Amino acid sequence: IMKRCLSTSNALNVIKNVTIIGGGLMGSGIAQVTAQSGQNVTIVEVNDGAIKTAEKRISDSLVRVGKKLYKDNPQEAEKFVQGTKSKVRGVTDVGEGVKNADLVIEAIVENIDVKHKLFKQIDTLAPPSALLASNTSSLSIRDIASVTNRKDKFGGLHFFNPVPVMKLLEVVTTPELSEESYKSFMEWGKSVGKVCVTCKDTPGFVVNRLLVPYMAEALRMYERGDASAKDIDIAMKLGAGYPMGPIELVDYVGLDTTLFIIEGWHKKFPDNPLFVPPESLKKLVAEKKFGVKSGEGYYKYD
């Protein structure tokens, strides 16, 4: 028992520097909660504009969290915002970003080829002791890890949008993941304030395997004209107690991300009717209507 405790705490002590690749919707949230827990965060993005966008998103979200944490004390709230922001730096070079990392979390576009290219680089540039993780929604962790030489240190860390609010973290295991790395992922998840569940490396893990077919079914219902998008959303909010309706949720998750997920599964499992990409989703994505993040999806946003 002594040995196990020691090995866990050793592993935990090691995670001080976390690098997040991709500072979009998810990456900025992951960076934020990590910085809030006192760890040093490096965000790697494609250009300075994208770093600025990530920093702005983190700053806006921290202001909301700060207001809640320090209701009657705007000075303390401001200190919290500035203190947390000072833990985050942005870079555009992967090598520079991962060279001191204890843990690297990838949150870039949901595309296996792009992720493979990135992880080949990370594997050669990050310290050999660094743990690697992907925040993928739907791809196989084992598949992503296949291009690296540290499959025992590679797992899934699947967060939920909005990361600062959603309490869950799915920790995804593979047959190659070592017990020690698994424990480090679980401990790290707790350290950033999340409740961790353990999932096998199956399509969509737990939440998305149930949620994505539900969202696609709602889009098909809308396409058939059984009810309006607004009424489908109202119905599921007031009739089933969901905080958002399924179509609002597609807009919130991102239409591009939702389509990537369902197209990938459709290719792999062509006989499953739940995985057929809805026509309206394909059409809106082709029109670059990605939902809240682009200003329009099934609904319009200012």
Nearest to 264 by CA among 197, 220, 208: 208
Contact between 204 and ligand NAD by CB under 6 A: the answer reads: no
Could you tell me if 132 and 181 are in contact, meaning their C-beta atoms sit under 8 angstroms apart?
no
Please report where in the chains the tokens 């197209």 appear, as a residue: 263
Residue closer to ligand CAA (CB basis): 146 or 161: 161
Nearest to 84 by CA among 100, 99, 64, 104: 64
- Residue 207: C-alpha distances to residues 139, 288, 290 (Å): 14, 26, 21
Contact between 65 and ligand CAA by CB under 6 A: the answer reads: yes
> Which of 84, 134, 137, 173 is close enough to bind ligand CAA by CB under 6 A?
137
- How many residues bind ligand CAA (CB under 6 A)? The answer is 17
Let me know the angle formed at the C-alpha of 266 by 261 and 268, rounded to the nearest 5 degrees.
100
Residue 68 is assigned to a ligand binding site: yes
Contact between 136 and ligand NAD by CB under 6 A: the answer reads: yes
Contact between 3 and ligand CAA by CB under 6 A: the answer reads: no
- Residue 128: C-alpha distances to residues 98, 122, 182 (Å): 11, 10, 17
Residue 50 touches which of ligand CAA, ligand NAD, none (Cβ within 5-8 Å per kind): ligand NAD
Angstrom distance (rounded) from CA 80 to CA 97 = 25
Site string for ligand NAD, 144-163 (x = CB under 6 A): ---------------xxx--
Structure tokens belonging to residue 79: 């200190």
Contact between 184 and ligand CAA by CB under 6 A: the answer reads: no
> Which of 257, 262, 264, 275 is close enough to bind ligand NAD by CB under 6 A?
257
- Residues in CB range of 62: below 8 A, 6 or more apart: 32, 36, 80, 81, 84, 85
Residue 238 touches which of ligand NAD, ligand CAA, none (Cβ within 5-8 Å per kind): none
> Which of 84, 208, 229, 250 is close enough to bind ligand CAA by CB under 6 A?
208
SS3 of residue 89 by DSSP: strand
Angstrom distance (rounded) from CA 23 to CA 12 = 24
User: Minimum distance from CB of 114 to ligand CAA (Å)?
Assistant: 17
* Catalytic residue annotation: 137, 158, 170, 208
Contact between 227 and ligand CAA by CB under 6 A: the answer reads: no
Report the binding-site residues for CoA: 61, 68, 137
Report the interface residues with ligand CAA, using CB under 6 A: 61, 64-65, 68, 137, 160-162, 164-166, 208, 211, 243-244, 249, 253
Report the interface residues with ligand NAD, using CB under 6 A: 21-27, 44-46, 50, 107-110, 118, 135-137, 159-161, 253-254, 257
